């Protein structure tokens, strides 16, 4: 089994990633920390708590950064709905929402583990950057960071920038300069990992979890010809079935100002960074295998 921590901003595709992490027996989800992103952090924290409760799971939730490090916050409620997880009734709103304990809880959880842990950010990297800056000794206890975000091609926020990196480019820069092993799961694969209409129809028939996912997916305003992109789910798919992905090592620099702010620039020529690399970048995916894999994951879910 693989021990992981998810740092997330649910978010419809985040919710699907959390659902896989909670229910797959090969994954031990030690902690969910939350960050402002798709919606504000009070909402992403509540959404994480709702999912834990929905699946009767025993996973602690820690509330994290309300704002990016430097850049003013802009949400993506137009894509994920006002609540971040619309279209399904999760029952009464959670109370006792944890506030501002993510960095501390991340640090304690990682250090308490004997073996290094895999960190899986699927929102902007504000908490992760604060953790690395405030507690550099944590680095030796992180096996790798499997991060959704970035693109070595087109962006989805601007032509240059992907949403998670665009939201907090300064945090992304800290992560990419940290020396921690990184797998970049960016738009280069996530825009190919589209759930087809056929897959969506199948999922809806798969019990209460399938019904819930089907309901929130139908409110996802990121439709594309061929299906809906399951960005964040690719982090779990990569961990559980890496053979679906093709990766290439590159040095990734993050643009932190100007019109290309939030762009992740791969040193494709290799010359600028003398062939040094800081990330294993996912460059291609078998989309049919991804659809089949996701259906199998939903079949494993219990609520």
CA 219, chain centre distance (Å): 19
Instruction: Looking at residues 7 to 36 of the shown chain, list those that interact with Ca ion (rule: CB under 5 A).
Output: 9, 11, 14
Residue 164 CA neighbour count, 13 Å, CB half: 33
Enumerate residues 88-147 that contact Ca ion by CB under 5 A.
122-123
148 binds ligand BDR (CB under 6 A): yes
Give yes or no for a contact between 172 and 254, defined as CB atoms under 8 angstroms apart.
yes
Residue 156 in the binding site for ligand BDR (CB under 6 A): yes
Report the C-alpha gap between 173 and 264 in whole angstroms: 9
**Calpha distance 218→300 (Å, rounded):** 21
* Nearest to 78, CA basis, from 181, 182, 156: 156
Give me the residue whose beta carbon is nearest to ligand BDR: 163
Least Cβ distance, residue 121 to Ca ion (angstroms): 9
Cβ distance 282 to 247 under 8 Å? Answer: yes
Scan residues 219-238 and list those touching ligand BDR (CB under 6 A): 231-232
The tokens describing 277, both together, are 């690399």
CB of 165 to Ca ion, least distance (A): 12
Among residues 255, 5, 23, 30, the alpha carbon closest in space to that of 151 is found at 255
Closer CB to ligand BDR, residue 188 or residue 253? 188
* The only residue of 2, 5, 6, 11 in contact with ligand BDR, by rule CB under 6 A: 11
Which tokens is 263 given? 């762009």
Binding mask 248-287 for Ca ion (x = CB under 5 A): ----------------------------------------
Residue 268 CA to chain centroid, in angstroms? Answer: 25
293 binding ligand BDR? (CB under 6 A): no
Q: Does 231 qualify as catalytic in the annotation? A: yes
Nearer to ligand BDR, 156 or 291 (CB): 156
Rule CB under 5 A: which residues touch Ca ion?
9, 11, 14, 122-123, 232
Which residues does the annotation mark as catalytic? 231
């Amino acid at each position: 089994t693989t021990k992981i921590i998810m740092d997330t901003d649910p978010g419809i595709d985040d919710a699907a990633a959390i659902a896989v992490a909670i229910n797959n027996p090969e994954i031990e989800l030690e902690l969910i920390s939350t960050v402002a992103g798709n919606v504000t952090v009070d909402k992403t924290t509540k959404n994480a708590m709702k999912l834990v409760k929905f699946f009767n799971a025993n996973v602690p939730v820690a509330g994290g950064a309300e704002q990016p490090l430097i850049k003013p916050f802009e949400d993506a409620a137009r894509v994920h709905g006002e609540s971040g997880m619309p279209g399904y009734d999760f029952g009464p709103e959670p109370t006792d929402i944890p506030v501002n304990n993510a960095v501390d809880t991340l640090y304690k959880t990682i250090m308490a583990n004997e073996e290094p842990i895999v960190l899986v950010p699927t929102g902007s990297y504000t908490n992760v950057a604060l953790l690395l800056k405030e507690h550099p000794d944590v680095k030796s206890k992180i096996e790798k960071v499997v991060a959704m975000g970035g693109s070595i091609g087109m962006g989805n926020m601007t032509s240059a920038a992907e949403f998670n990196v665009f939201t907090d480019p300064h945090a992304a820069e800290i992560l990419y300069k940290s020396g921690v092993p990184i797998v970049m799961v960016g738009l280069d694969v996530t825009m190919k990992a589209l759930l087809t209409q056929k897959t969506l129809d199948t999922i809806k028939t798969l019990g209460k979890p399938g019904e819930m996912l089907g309901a929130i997916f139908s409110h996802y305003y990121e439709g594309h010809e061929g299906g809906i992109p399951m960005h964040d789910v690719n982090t779990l798919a990569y961990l559980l079935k890496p053979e679906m992905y093709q990766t290439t090592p590159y040095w990734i620099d993050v643009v932190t100002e100007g019109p290309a702010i939030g762009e992740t620039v791969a040193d494709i020529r290799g010359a600028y960074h003398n062939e040094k690399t800081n990330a294993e970048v996912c460059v291609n995916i078998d989309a049919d295998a991804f659809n089949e894999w996701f259906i199998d994951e939903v079949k494993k879910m219990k609520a």
